Amino acid sequence: MTDLPFPRGVRDLLPNEALFKAETVGKIESVFRAFGFLTISTPKIESLKILKGKSAIGEDEKLIYELKEEELGLRYDQTVSLARYFIMHNNLPLPFKRYAIGEAWRMDEPQHLRYREFTQADVDIIGGERSLCDAEVVATIASALDALDIKYEVLVNSRVLMEDMLDAFGVPEDKHIEVMRIIDKLDKAGSDGVNQMLEKAGMDSEQRLKVVNFVGAKGTNEEKLKYAKDFAKGSGACDELGNMIELVKKYPIKGELKVDFSIVRGIDYYTGMVFEIRAAEEGAPIQSLCGGGRYDKLIENYGGKSIPAVGGTIGVDRVLDLLKFSYSKRYTFAKAFVAYIRKENYDYALSVANKLRENGINTEINLADRNISNQLSYISSMNIEYAVIVGDIEQKEGKVKLRNMVSGDEEVIGLDVLVQKLK
């Protein structure tokens, strides 16, 4: 067979994988709706002027897929689109809570478990009281992972606190963003790698030591925040972060909250609380699953009014890989398959399938020229739970033979009973 070209950093999903993804997204969406988030829809392409807007993606502008002849690009996340949307639709209720689940693209170098096309599940709140909204976003994202039975930990920090700490360490303000981008690479580069990058950024040995020691601080949340307070005297960011943590604890989430000063998030528009949620299961193939934070200046930077905003996103593809979705055995949403002995039984079989579908039961019917043995083999291969078998006798009596494909039990029943059993 001739090799067909296929782009790097993307993937096809087999039926079992696509089904697993659809059900996973459905569970996430149910949680978002339970928290009262509204759904909106924005285009997958945006103006390059929006995508490259002031204080948007920062150093990662080179990762944008551009349609240069039209000055358009594929969205790299859904937050910038939300900012544009909010400005254009200025009669929205406040606080405005919205969720969005869809694809985004980054022209990144493909790596294991890192894709150029990926699905994000976002929640954002524009307006409202800062700490309450921060806690609501973190708790919503965490609750979605609870619904998926994922073990995780929530790592939180504050960009304001980091700014105050860098000031205390004597780092010039015009170096803050560069230093925070370096700190964001700690989990990949390690302390030595970060130290080398800080040296290249022009920091002296004393400053580098203070930064590396600070971001690697150990202890309880209270001990870490006290440690930060001792350096950044007069900063209210420690109290604000501590208050937010206490608010999140009031939600019935299962994951543990931890202060982690290495969490700063790589995108430039964050201005306050930032968080990352990592898998806590031993041997997890990937750690970082979700992230987000506060971005109070993004809407204003695009020409809108000054208004607080916070959001978070679930990396759906990372969640799927963590859950080993490729090993799922379910290939179809169908709960029942209507099989028939002879072609003359087709019309009756179709009426049975229609009745099941009308009652909300996902049903497939034989559409191929094959005998009953091959039909049953197909049902087994698709892991469909029930075979509904129709022959001359069943057709004459207005009944069906129902076979449980797991237990092998069979019974001849009427259509009303069939509906009740499969419901």
Annotated binding residue 124:
yes
Peptide bond into 43 cis (omega under 30): no
Annotated binding residue 78:
yes
Annotated binding residue 111:
no
What does 236-280 look like in DSSP terms, one character per residue?
SHHHHHHHHHHHHTTS---SEEEE-TT---SSTT--SEEEEEEE-
Strand segments, DSSP code E, in 64-116 are 66-67, 72-74, 96-105
Amino acid of residue 343: K
Annotated binding residue 115:
no
Token pair recorded at residue 277: 């949620």
Token pair recorded at residue 329: 């055995």
Annotated binding residue 270:
yes
The residue behind tokens 């803050």 is 176
Annotated binding residue 120:
yes
Annotated binding residue 174:
no
Residue 396 neighbours by CB under 8 Å, 6+ apart: none
Between CA 9 and CA 110 the distance in angstroms is 5
Residue 29 contacts residue 148 (beta carbons within 8 Å):
no
Token pair recorded at residue 230: 């001792």
- The helices-and-strands tally (H runs, E runs) of the chain is 16, 16
Between CA 97 and CA 39 the distance in angstroms is 9
Start-end of H helices in 9-99 = 15-34, 48-51, 79-88
Output the CA angle 94-96-99, nearest 5 degrees: 170
Token pair recorded at residue 244: 């937010």
Token pair recorded at residue 117: 């096309």
Annotated binding residue 260:
no
Binding site as annotated, residues? 77-79, 106, 120, 124, 265, 269-270
Binding site as annotated, residues for L-histidine? 77-79, 106, 120, 124, 265, 269-270
